[in-house]
Structure 1
């Protein structure tokens, strides 16, 4: 048997990693400024993370959701406190796509409707409704296209208002910072506007924080950058989807559901979601985020990164927030990205915008690491 060939692969075979350093099977060292699609939030093999998982393995790794698991309650309480989302309930699953599936399903249950509003260049996953709400026809199979999704441009107030007035929609799903799409953002005024219109028309507002959450933007969630001036707090989504940085490499995801939604037995379910190892990995991440003050670090280093980027004339635009940043050039970056790996031994990311280089490192990097990145970038541009 061979592997089903769906991934274009670089000729690098990582065998060991620590922090942002990765070694391949030849002993060559690389610097990881991409974190495997923003997954590595606290650094590879962080000692606290490794210790917690090893200890949990010695006790119990898994049992189903048919029994008590106090780790789930501990995680929900800590996540609520650190994120400022204590008026939400947690449902755990295994991935970002699954999180968005459950978010959209909850919205449909809640409203009795099925149509969805999503946005141009969105990416919400590769399964059923999640991929239907993803603006990429190439990964949307005919079976997925049965879902009714309307794609609108970000920050187009008039079209959004005309569309939602039809009262046919169960949900609006939006990334506070688009990941795969290329780091575009809704303005605060637009985010406030869609939140208001969703309330008026009883449509569920879903904030997809799969990539932008867990401190990456310099706030726990990226939507928290957008203040609701009437209530003196951030815009409040009905459901928040999470994954990627949540487990620092352990497959885990979830949704935060506002406590105005009422649960019932069987409404949602999962075999592996919320297992003992997943909870332990997630708790370890939160513990490190809090102890090492990594969200503040992400915010501060985002400012420093922009200062360094502004010194390179070939960079035409800097997008994103915190340590979720894109560098836009006036040429396609695929060759540049390859040279960064081959010549400078540095991992970076691409986007649907082929002229954008993505920078998504662990949140505990330093100014020295950023200096190394720009030293390498200058050599190849």
Structure 2
């Protein structure tokens, strides 16, 4: 049976990983500066992670949410302690798309309204409401398009004000650092005014932290760089270091009711074990400090390369923008210099999303090889 052919694939077959490296079926080592879309937060096969998941699967891998699962409470308490999101409530799911779908559903329940405001170049997932709020018509099917969504320019405060004052908006959803859109960010004034406008107009302010959260930006959540209080925070990617897990943090003003939300696999025992291993490692290895130190070092090194026109992002959610499309450069890096990097909707942007425990030696290696790869691309052009 053939696979449904929806992914253009590089001709590389990783079969194992260790730390910041992956190894293909020929035994070739690759420097992983992409982490599978920022999923690998504490490195491949981290011993804490391997031990936690192995122990849990040997004990109890799964049971439904119809029973007590103390691991969920342990995960919630650890997340509250490390994130500083005091008194928020946690609902666990399996992915970022599910997190955003439930965030928007909850906003609609809470407000009794159904229209969503989102922003250009934003990406929120591929489920029904989440994909409708995503600025990419190529992945919005007709069945999704029946959702009521208004997409505005980032930083358009007046547009947000105009739409909210119409009285039918249940949620404004925003990435505080856009991921696939190209690492664009709103201004502090924009985020803070949107927060205030939501509170004044009975709309939920949803912080999509699926890619920019979990220490990736240099704070636990990217919204914490600003003076805002989201009503709902969605999280996933780096949460499980590769194990499927996502969730939403829900402000204490939003009351839970039995049956309001539900999931079969969300918050299962294995997922919680993986999630706890990530949080415990972020804490024990002081990875937030490392993110800030390595992010600053990356910025310094990038400024030495004249072909780089702009450095975008924060912490270890970074982008290098050139004055040419980077598709050939990415191929050069992966095939000839054995480095994984990422692309974006902005075809001139090279995305860098390494594990949070990356070291200076890895960045030195990347920049030295990037200089050589740039020369090769220039010659071939």
| TM-score interval, smaller chain | over 0.9
1:190: Cα distance to partner?
Answer: 0.6
For 1:296 and 1:176, how far apart are their aligned partners in 2? 20
The residue that corresponds to 1:170 in the other structure is 170
Give the gaps of 5 or more residues in structure 2.
Answer: 375-381
Distance in 2 of aligned mates of 1:77 and 1:248:
19
After TM superposition, give the deviation of residue 131 of structure 1 in Å: 0.2
Distance 2:167 2:336 in 1: 55
Structure 1 unaligned regions, length at least 5: 229-234
In the TM superposition, residue 162 of structure 1 has moved relative to its aligned partner by: 1.5
What are the equivalent positions in structure 2 for 1:266-277 lying under 5 Å apart?
266-277=259-270
Show CA shifts across 1:141-162 (max 9, x none): 0000000110111112222212
What residue number does 1:249 align with? Answer: 242
Structure-2 residue corresponding to 1:231: none
If the length of structure 1 is used for normalisation, what is the TM-score? 0.98
- Give distance in 1, aligned partners of 2:166 and 2:293: 43
Partners of 2:289 and 2:187 lie apart in 1 by: 22
**Secondary structure at 1:77's aligned position in 2?**
helix
Map 1:70-85; keep pairs closer than 5 Å: 70-85=70-85
C-alpha distance in structure 1 between counterparts of 2:370 and 2:133, whole Å: 35
| Distance in 1 separating the partners of 2:222 and 2:346 | 21
1:28 Cα deviation from its structure 2 partner: 0.7
DSSP 3-state at the match of 1:57 = helix
Counterparts of 2:87 and 2:119 in 1: how far apart (Å)? 27
**1:349 and 2:349 correspond:** no
Q: How big is the shift at 1:73?
A: 0.3
Runs of 4+ in 1 over 3 A off after TM superposition: none
Find out whether 1:127 has 2:127 as its counterpart. Answer: yes
C-alpha deviation, 1:167, in angstroms: 1.0
Give SS of 1:58's match.
helix
Q: Which residue of 1 aligns with 2:106?
A: 106
After TM superposition, list the pairs within 5 Å mapping 1:144-183 onto structure 2.
144-183=144-183
Q: How far apart in 2 are the matches of 1:53 and 1:171?
A: 36
Partner of 1:232: none
- Aligned mates of 2:87, 2:176 — CA distance in 1: 20
- Deviation per CA, 1:209-234: give whole Å up to 9, x if none: 000011000000000011x2xxxxxx
Report the CA distance between 1:299 and its aligned residue.
1.1
Aligned partner of 2:286 among 289, 293, 299: 293
Q: Deviations over 1:158-215 (max 9, x none)?
A: 2221221111100000000000100001111111000000000010000000000110
Q: Report 1:189-200 matches (<5 A).
A: 189-200=189-200
CA distance in structure 2 between the aligned counterparts of 1:77 and 1:162, rounded to whole angstroms: 39
CA contact (8 A) 2:163 2:169 kept: no
Q: Distance in 2 between matches of 1:58 and 1:16?
A: 22
The question of whether the paired residues in 1 share the 8 Å contact of 2:172 and 2:206 is answered with yes
User: Deviations along 1:53-91, whole A, 9 cap, x unmatched?
Assistant: 111111100000000000000000000110001220000
Counterparts of 1:338-377 in structure 2 under 5 Å?
338-377=331-370
C-alpha separation between the residues in 2 aligned to 1:24 and 1:118? 39
Q: How many residues matched?
A: 374
* Partner SS state of residue 143, structure 1: helix
Counterpart of 2:59 in structure 1 is 59
Tell me how far apart the structure 1 counterparts of residues 156 and 190 of structure 2 sit (CA, whole Å): 8
Match of 1:327 among 316, 320, 328: 320
Instruction: Indicate if the aligned counterparts of 2:61 and 2:268 stay in contact, CA closer than 8 A.
Output: yes
| Structure 1 Cα separation of the partners of residues 152 and 2 of structure 2 | 41
Q: Which whole-Å CA distance do the structure 1 matches of 2:298 and 2:337 have between them?
A: 18
